[in-house]
Amino acid sequence: MTIDLRSDTLTRPTAEMRRAMAEAQVGDDVFGEDPTVNALQERVAELFGKEAALFTPTGSLANVLGVASLVEPGQEVLCEASAHIARAELGAHGALTGLTMRTWRHPRGQVDLAAIQEMYAPDMGPFFVRTTAVSVENTHNFAGGAVLPLADLQALRAWADSVGCGVHLDGARLWNAHVATGVPLAAYGACADVVSVCLSKGLGAPVGSLVIGSADAIATARVRRKRMGGGMRQVGILAAAGMHALDHHVERLAEDHAHARLLAEACGLEPATVDTNIVVVPRSDAGGFVASAREEDVLVSQVGPHAVRLVTHLDVSKADAEAAAAVLARL
């Protein structure tokens, strides 16, 4: 049987999740009348200590709407150089919002407050692009699922408040950070004006993300979502999968983290360097390694000429992780 470690987006809904979806109460969500969507939005807003949340089909759209709530066309957002918003959203923020980006670089995707302070450009009238937001990613995908320490986020928040700059948190895998550290979701929420989270990664839902923030920001995001063609109708069927995931698939992320450490050890890495469910393995022959693993029914992805990525998730059991570890150790 193939063990697929390419991404945590590959999970298929469980039988219980499918049942919850089939039984969902639904209505027209463009009219604001889908009770399951409304319940999910209220639940997630409350978890993060915010006024409102909006269900979106993807994390990319949640990020576009979230960043656009802080940055107007012609203004800039600062982010880490390998942030998903900079590298993997196909230029959506420039193309759709009309903003520019400048980046700082950190090998583990961390907040570099000194670099941010140096880059930050206040309003200088007709001279320089004005910075109106900083975006951070927790956990950081391309930095191998690295967690951003709460203290660093709090320091960013305090500085941003002092200069009047917004903070966006790409929390596609914030659930993993929460489970790995025990930091309450509301504590992360307090560090950002707007947060995006995904249900379709570690939580195992087939579709769905949310953008979370003030009532005003979310009301505007709702208009923009519709403008971009993202107004959905009886989408409670999908929100029900998210509700089920929140009930049953959050605490179990600890298992994925343990499996990731097992795989890291098999690949000769120090397990303690793996914060959550993603392992980046440096390999001079990354392409060859991916092909050899595939021959042994273990799917991993190449994320650079010299880097291979392994991701654990709901569909990788302990036995799968052990079997994959044996193959990878041999290779």
Ligand X SMILES: Cc1ncc(COP(=O)(O)O)c(C=O)c1O
- Taking CB under 6 A as the criterion, the residue among 132, 209, 277, 312 binding ligand X is 209
Q: Among residues 83 and 218, whose Cβ is nearest to ligand X? A: 83
Q: How far is the CB of 170 from ligand X (least distance, A)?
A: 5
Q: What is the DSSP letter of 186?
A: H
Tracing tokens 């993807």 back to the chain, one arrives at 58
Kindly compute the dihedral angle of the four CA atoms of residues 285, 286, 287, 289, in this order, to the nearest 10 degrees: 80
Q: What is the DSSP letter of 147?
A: P
AA letter at 257 = H
Site residues for ligand X, 43-102, by CB under 6 A, read 58-60, 63, 84
Site residues for ligand X, 145-204, by CB under 6 A, read 170, 172, 198, 200
Closest CA to 96 of 202, 192, 229, 295: 229
- Taking CB under 6 A as the criterion, the residue among 34, 80, 137, 275 binding ligand X is 137
Q: Among residues 11 and 200, whose Cβ is nearest to ligand X? A: 200
Counting residues that bind ligand X (by CB under 6 A) gives 12
Under rule CB under 6 A, residue 141 binds ligand X: yes
Q: How far is the CB of 140 from ligand X (least distance, A)?
A: 7
CB 141 within 8 A of CB 173: yes
CB 64 within 8 A of CB 99: no
Distance, in Å, from the CA atom of 52 to the CA atom of 212, rounded to the nearest integer, reads 6
Under rule CB under 6 A, residue 36 binds ligand X: no
Closest CA to 173 of 140, 210, 134: 140
CB 236 within 8 A of CB 24: yes
Binding mask 249-288 for ligand X (x = CB under 6 A): ----------------------------------------
Under rule CB under 6 A, residue 4 binds ligand X: no
Q: Among residues 203 and 266, whose Cβ is nearest to ligand X? A: 203
Terminal-to-terminal C-alpha distance of the chain: 18
Q: How far is the CB of 285 from ligand X (least distance, A)?
A: 25
Q: How far is the CB of 163 from ligand X (least distance, A)?
A: 26
What values do phi and psi take at 149, rounded to 5? Answer: -60, 140
Which residues of the shown chain bind ligand X in the complex (CB under 6 A)?
A: 58-60, 63, 84, 137, 141, 170, 172, 198, 200, 209
